[in-house]
Structure 1
Amino acid sequence: MSIEVLNISKNYGEQKALDQISFSIKKGEIVGFLGPNGAGKSTLMKILTTYISSDEGEAKVNNFDINLESKSVQKSIGYLPEHNPLYLDLYVREYLSFNADVYKVAKTRIEEVIQLTGLTPESNKKIGQLSKGYRQRVGLACALLHNPEVLILDEPTTGLDPNQLVEIRELIKNIGKDKTVFLSTHIMQEVEAICDRVIIINKGKIVEDKNLKTLVKEQTNQIITIEFDKIISKEDFNQFNNLISIDHINDTVLELTFESKTDMRPILFDFAQEKGLKILQLNLKNRNLEQIFREKTSKK
């Protein structure tokens, strides 16, 4: 296993940031780590990188114990923290050269990571002159200098424009072809585009851990958008025991969420006929990760 986490807990005073977290990640997986603000994502990543220690539990990265072999852990991972720490007055190559000395890697590796991360057009500039997207590339290049087997990326696309988002996503996906990638993000489309598997955390506990395709496929909830020719109240839907929620888009358009493996659209046609209503539109929305995330993290 590239990452093994067993019953990790962390408290900040009376607040429990992590509560008995356990999971493992195989070599070559790209795993998205999701959760609301304050759920404990950054805390766990800091523990895995040995930046902070846990209060309870054990973890191994590349078979190195985070408590007993912290130096070996640090050498075997590449870490891009949420707030990418860069020396803005240094040139790109100068900054990478400095870090190459820290990691004790050959200077030839600098040109390799510059090409790998698409930094070549901007590589002769000072870091302070770069856009946010290229600064993220510098952070990734630095994380890759020593050719680590595991990459831990905390919010790697925060603050990027849509074009930069696509570029960094493709970069991470390509890197993940021969490395294990563990990344946190708030952008669900990013996870759907990059990751093989998703771990969702809420209030310090794991609430979901599955292959992404399996997770979406297994969901039984249906979201149906329906428009009638006249206003209808929520009370008219009381006959549906499997109706989870009703959202009014406007007076005559509703979004209905059912818990059912049976297609509810024919049943809604019969319902409309009984009520003397005409259906102007009826659409079954494809369930996506964002909807699953909301359901998993909104539970009390």
Structure 2
Amino acid sequence: MALASPILEYKVEAVIGDIRVHCRRIMVWRPRLIGTFRCCKQFLTLLACIFFCGSASANCLSNPLFAHDHVVYAGEVGNRQIRLTLQFDALSQQVSGMYGISGDSISHDIPSQPDGEAVTIHIAGKNGRSDQLRLRAVDSLAAIHSPDANGCLELDGVYLRNGLAEEDVKLLRVTAIKSEYDADRKANEAVALRFQRALIARDKQIVASLLIYPFFSQYGRKTSVWKDAGEVVKHYDEAIQFDAPALRKAVPFLLESRWNKSEFFDGAVCLSEQKVEQMCIGPCVGGCP
């Protein structure tokens, strides 16, 4: 069949020469295509692939042409907590992403790597050593940009300490973050990091300054309301309670966010507009406001 329109020039060779791989990567988006049609050459190529692929098996590595969500995975590597997200780029056939890990003050980019190979993430270890997290080959990775895909609940790999000791790693899908909220999310993450450090240092003044008033605390079945910073400082041990060892390992990056609100510490710290509006022991009952 001749392609009369230049609209279908986008990756035609790849679709013809390696159609199974391309179909696998976009089949997961088939339910979303209805209602999201956009007249662009990338869409038409993918649409053609869907109809000509038949029942080609789908995996979780999806093309982000229509994506608005970044799926976030979390777990433990080398006694530290990590949160990460990955993205597949159809044009370059590369996988990239970003991650945050406990103990670090910034998040890190995951450099682009060839599709179909194990994803290697270099992590600065203790005493200046270089550790590595190696995730299984991309074709078996869980969702890159598809939180609704089936069978995309976890990532598997190994963690190497200084290139020697090796331990198995399993990262579980914990949330999906929307790109449209990135600015608010990152602003809240900066506050979450500052709040975490102030809590660990027991700096009552900074902790109190980062709260929205009235401030709500929910510990067990008791919910308390604190009218101002002075009241929080005066009754600090009653107003501010948390699991210190768990908080030290919490990662204040890639937080679940919606609009100007974010959740930190497994939903125990609720942030809004760069302030903390509620704190709980464990996930807040009923979720964050």
TM-score tier, shorter chain, comes to: under 0.3
The TM-score normalised by the length of structure 1 is 0.27
Point out the structure with max Rg over C-alpha: 1
User: Structure with the greater relative contact order (CA < 8 A, sep ≥ 6): 1 or 2?
Assistant: 1
The TM-score normalised by the length of structure 2 is 0.28
